[in-house]
């Protein structure tokens, strides 16, 4: 079955499961029916459909092999103790030999080809989109500076993944420090034409965006990737204006997941608030925006909500669907 109104589904078999750290596993996925998988570009992800007994999850994961791999894909999944269930399902239920469905690859986090230099800042599992980018940057001889913030116990394993893909090493930070103090001078010192890429916890990404803006970086020169995980919140009711139906959105469910569970054919691509594909018009109520797609001015109008990550501040949110 295709993932409702999402990208076309590809059946895959889990060929290998490896522990990278205590709570990060790498899954190697091969085509379930033989043949080749679609080619993808550096920075691409797939959406994995996980069918549990009581509910279905769809999470986006970066493809971590160098772009061009078609015999097998690899994804890395961190088990989040307080997760909404998708990562826990991948760790507890998915074994070598399991079958899954993935979407066609898509890419909302491409390399900026005209950049004179690439500065990458990753937080923990946020290294994953860069694992397909680094070999391409190395092969093209691009200027790259890589920074990784992570827990001390993860540093060695994550550094090893980066080291085999980069020329020139990586700066690793395992202590807590505010973003301005850690990266303010670094961003101020970059040559014109440098592009900044970030993926990791929201606080790190928002902090870097603020620091970059304060240093006069053009918006077009910084790029963020965010995958799910931002959907916990207060329960609310989505009202579908065209039919009058009411859909309850649980505390551990995204609005998009609640709509899908109710059989609504809602479009999506990234499921991480980055692409805008899932945008729905809001007729009444106040959205709580958690996306990276709309500008601050667009968010302030509250005209649209991106249901893959955003929720409602009001008890009811009336949508024009
Ligand atoms: S699916 Fe991409 S922003 Fe929601």
**Does 292 contact ligand 1 (Cβ within 6 A)?**
no
**Does 108 contact ligand 1 (Cβ within 6 A)?**
no
Atom of ligand 1 nearest to the CA of 108: 2
Distance CA 219, CA 181 (A): 21
Cβ-proximal residues to 149 (8 Å cutoff; 6+ apart), any chain: 121, 122, 123, 124, 172, 173, 174, 182, 200, 204
- Which structure tokens are listed for 42? 């550096």
Mutation choice for ligand 1 from 275, 290, 299, CB with most ligand atoms inside 8 A:
275
**Does 109 contact ligand 1 (Cβ within 6 A)?**
no
Q: How far is the CA of 289 from the centre of ligand 1 (A)?
A: 12
pLDDT for residue 169: 84
Q: Which CATH superfamily is domain 9-103 in?
A: Translation factors (2.40.30.10)
What's the topology of domain 117-225?
A: Rossmann fold (3.40.50)
Taking the domains of the chain in order of start, what are their residue ranges? 9-103, 117-225, 236-319
**Does 274 contact ligand 1 (Cβ within 6 A)?**
yes
Distance CA 99, CA 29 (A): 9
Q: What pTM value is reported for the model?
A: 0.86
pLDDT for residue 272: 83
What CA dihedral angle connects 196, 200, 203 and 205, to 10 degrees?
A: 20
pLDDT for residue 229: 53
Please report, in tens digits, the pLDDT of each residue of the chain (321 residues total).
344 455 579 999 999 999 999 999 999 999 999 999 999 999 999 999 999 888 888 889 999 999 988 999 999 999 987 666 789 999 999 999 999 999 999 998 999 999 999 999 999 999 999 999 999 999 999 999 999 999 999 999 999 999 999 988 899 999 988 999 999 999 999 999 999 999 998 889 889 999 999 999 998 999 988 765 556 789 999 999 999 999 999 988 889 999 999 999 899 888 888 889 999 999 999 999 998 889 889 999 999 999 999 999 999 999 999
Q: Is the dihedral of CA 73, 78, 83, 88 positive or negative?
A: positive
Atom of ligand 1 nearest to the CA of 273: 3
Atom of ligand 1 nearest to the CA of 291: 3
**Does 293 contact ligand 1 (Cβ within 6 A)?**
yes
**Does 271 contact ligand 1 (Cβ within 6 A)?**
yes
Atom of ligand 1 nearest to the CA of 274: 3
Q: What is the CATH number of domain 236-319?
A: 3.10.20.30
pLDDT for residue 230: 54
What CA dihedral angle connects 170, 291, 207 and 219, to 10 degrees?
A: 80
**Does 129 contact ligand 1 (Cβ within 6 A)?**
no
How far, CA to CA in Å, does 48 sit from each of 60, 61, 120, 141?
6, 7, 26, 33
**Does 273 contact ligand 1 (Cβ within 6 A)?**
yes
**Does 306 contact ligand 1 (Cβ within 6 A)?**
yes
pLDDT for residue 201: 87
Q: Which residue has the CA at smallest separation from atom 3 of ligand 1?
A: 273
Three-class DSSP labels, the chain = CCCCECCCEEEEEEEEEEECCCCEEEEEEEECCCCCCCCCCCCCEEEEEEECCCCEEEEEEECCCCCCCCCCEEEEEECCCCCCCHHHHHHHHCCCCCEEEEECCECCCCCCCCCCEEEEEEEHHHHHHHHHHHHHHHHHCCCEEEEEECCHHHHHHHHHHHHCCCCCCEEEECCCCCHHHHHHHHHHCCCCCEEEEEECCHHHHHHHHHHHHHCCCCHHHEEEECCCCCCCCCCEEEEECCCCEEEEECCCCCHHHHHHHCCCCCECCCCCCCCCCCCEEEEECCEECCCCCCCHHHHHHCCEECCCCCEECCCEEEECC
């Amino acid at each position: 079955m295709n993932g409702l109104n999402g990208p076309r589904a590809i059946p895959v078999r889990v060929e290998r499961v490896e522990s990278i750290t205590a709570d990060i596993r790498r899954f190697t996925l091969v085509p379930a029916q033989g043949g080749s998988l679609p080619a993808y570009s550096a920075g691409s992800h797939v959406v994995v459909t996980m069918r549990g007994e009581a509910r279905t999850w769809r999470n986006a994961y970066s493809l971590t092999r160098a772009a061009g791999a078609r015999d097998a894909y690899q994804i890395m999944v961190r088990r989040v103790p307080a997760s909404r269930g998708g990562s826990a399902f991948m760790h507890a239920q998915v074994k070598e030999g399991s079958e899954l469905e993935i979407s066609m690859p898509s890419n909302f986090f491409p390399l900026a080809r005209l950049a004179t230099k690439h500065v990458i800042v990753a937080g923990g599992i946020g290294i994953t989109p860069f694992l397909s980018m680094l070999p391409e940057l190395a092969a093209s001889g691009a200027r790259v500076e890589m920074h990784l913030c992570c827990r001390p116990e993860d540093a060695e394993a994550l550094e090893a993944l980066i080291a085999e893909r980069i020329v020139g090493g990586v700066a690793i930070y395992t202590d807590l420090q505010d973003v301005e103090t850690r990266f303010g001078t670094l961003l101020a010192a970059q040559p014109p034409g440098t592009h900044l890429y970030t993926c990791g916890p929201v606080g790190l990404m928002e902090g870097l965006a603020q620091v970059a803006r304060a240093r006069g970086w053009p918006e077009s020169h910084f790029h963020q990737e965010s995958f799910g995980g931002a959907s916990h919140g207060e329960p609310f009711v989505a009202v579908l204006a065209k039919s009058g139906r009411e859909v309850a959105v649980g505390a551990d469910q995204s609005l998009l997941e609640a709509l899908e569970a109710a059989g609504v054919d809602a479009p999506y691509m990234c499921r991480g608030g980055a692409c805008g594909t899932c945008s729905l018009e809001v007729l009444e109520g106040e959205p709580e925006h958690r996306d990276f797609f709309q500008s601050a001015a667009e968010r302030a109008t509250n005209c649209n909500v991106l249901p893959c990550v955003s929720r409602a501040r009001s008890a009811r949110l009336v949508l024009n669907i």
